[in-house]
Structure 1
Amino acid sequence: MCGILIGGIIMSKTWLITGVSSGFGLEMTKQLLEKGDTVVGTVRNDRNVKELMNKYPDTFFRKFLDVTDTKAVQALVQKVFDKLGQIDVIVSNAGYGLFGAAEELTDDEVDKILNTDLVGSIYLIRAVLPYFRKQGFGRIIQISSYGGQVAFAGNSMYHAAKWGIEGFVESVAQEMAPFNVGMTIVEPGGARTEFRYGSAQVANLMTEYNGNPAHAFLSMLDKNNGLAVGDPKKMVRRMIESVEVTPAPLRLMLGSQALNDTIKVLEKRIADFEAQRELAASTDIVE
């Protein structure tokens, strides 16, 4: 595998990253190119990556891609492997947030976020698996969120996508481990990226939900109430470092607040299950 230690030198890696025009994807691309790796990065438009295209003409390859176009995803993966021979790391990063009560969302908004954040990631990973299996190595990083473990009102479809992709990855990770393919779910907390302060989409809000927990997100999206504590540069650095860890960590939680909130939710969930031991056993067939 490219990137292993050979003669005391870490060899460069080749990465395929979706959604590199902003946020974690852009920051990861910058850090990887600076350290000498090769990046194939997908975008919907290239206005934010033109500088990288000019600075790294031999190691940065911009590709246009709409991850909701499943045939285009499959075609791109095939072209990249055919051209470069092998890929070391796939980063499924493309996605966005959608805020609003479930009733406030339109059918089109529901379809769009699920096709982007969930279905698009599934098809990308599925397209890569045969190549990784045949080459006998590879690492897949799925960018999720601590929202894949913790749910908040007003964010139902985002949670649906993230909880769904986490279950998918956890299952596929078991299938691919015998082929020396590792998979990591990254669960960042709030970060100072365009995800929260730029690309977040908000439903057509209903006055009936004013004062309801479903609209609490409005405070979070307002920069005047303070910025998120997560440092995108540090978070991306930890993501990149995780590729050198063997075996691959199944989950990578980034941000102390995210970790604390997740632990509290999981402890409560375990306590609720423990309280149901007698109830659960009451449904067993007793011979």
Structure 2
Amino acid sequence: MSTTTNENAQTWFITGISSGFGKEMAKQLLAAGNTVIGTVRKMDAIEDLQALYPDSLDAQILDVTDVEAIHRVVNEAFDRHGDIDAIVNNAGYGLFGAAEELSDDEVDHILDTNLLGSIQVIRTALPHLRKQGSGIIIQISSYGGQVAYPGNSMYHASKFGIEGFVEAVAQEVKPFGIRSLIVEPGGARTEFRYGSAHVAKLMPEYDGPTHSFLTMLDPANGLAPGDPAKMAARIIESSNKPETPLHLVLGSQALDNTIKRLEERLGEYRSETEIAKSTDIDE
């Protein structure tokens, strides 16, 4: 059992602490003497953390596709703990396959999980954060919220969508002392690639570049470069900076690819200056 104390201890609410960044963040925060309200779909996934931190880990069952459950779990967390310093949307997964290969259920489920689940967690927390006049919303996105690849259409839809939502909300709630941080990690050695990834029923017509994700998902072809523990540490550190960045890209490859795509996008828009002007009403 941990006996670590922290005079500046915080309380964090994190969805999806059974693996990946959620678990790494929970481990580091708990080891430093903080309190974590962590959600999972199955309690047996975090038996190790529960044994180590029975007093500072408040584990709750939550499926983020269940909106009524989100309202209940988030509201009860504030009722039990009072002020909560950070709300972290981490629960999510990857769905791979061409748009035509995906089933209706697969499309609905990834949007319910990655996009709508995150939106509802934030919306439920906002009245409490506004009342306490402080706190930070941390949205785990991906550099796939800025850069799109074939075979990832619905994953990108969920990440581009949640980034737009959080960017708008960040402006709405800044006057209340609420900060926002969108985390855009690159490839990391988590279960996202090597355990929880969902692959559609593939069609031979899309063999080639669209199915290149199969190479990425096979550990035999080399592991992702990102260290989940280091990434989790950078997220926690960034959340405590006086001037929190709105976007935090993690991984040198991810940053290079993001800058390249944004520069390409700027070039595309700048080339359209005259055609954009041509549609204005003549004064």
Amino acid at match of 1:191: A
Give the counterpart of 1:183 among 174, 177, 180: 180
Cα separation, 2, equivalents of 1:222 and 1:54: 33
Equivalent pairs, count:
278
**CA RMSD between the two structures:** 0.8
Give the alignment of 1:1-287 within 5 angstroms. 11-211=8-208, 213-287=209-283
Q: CA deviation at 1:224?
A: 1.2
| Local SS of the residue matching 2:237 | helix
Deviation at 1:196, TM superposition (A): 0.6
Q: Which residue of 2 aligns with 1:5?
A: none
The answer for unaligned runs of 5 or more in structure 2 is: 1-5
Distance (Å, rounded) in 2 between the aligned partners of 1:49 and 1:276: 52
After the TM superposition, which segments of 4 or more aligned residues of structure 1 sit over 3 Å from their partners?
A: none
SS in structure 2 at match of 1:258: helix
Structure 2 counterpart SS, 1:228: coil
Give the structure-1-normalised TM-score: 0.96
Secondary structure of 1:227's counterpart equals coil
* Cα distance, 1:179 vs structure 2: 0.4
Give SS of 1:267's match.
Answer: helix
SS in 2 for 1:195: helix
> Could you say which residue in structure 2 is the equivalent of 1:6?
none
Q: Any unmatched runs of 5+ in structure 1?
A: 1-8
Give the Å deviation of 1:86: 1.3
Identity within the alignment, %: 62
Q: Secondary structure at the residue paired with 2:169?
A: helix
CA distance in 2, matches of 1:246, 1:38: 21
Deviation at 1:10, TM superposition (A): 5.5
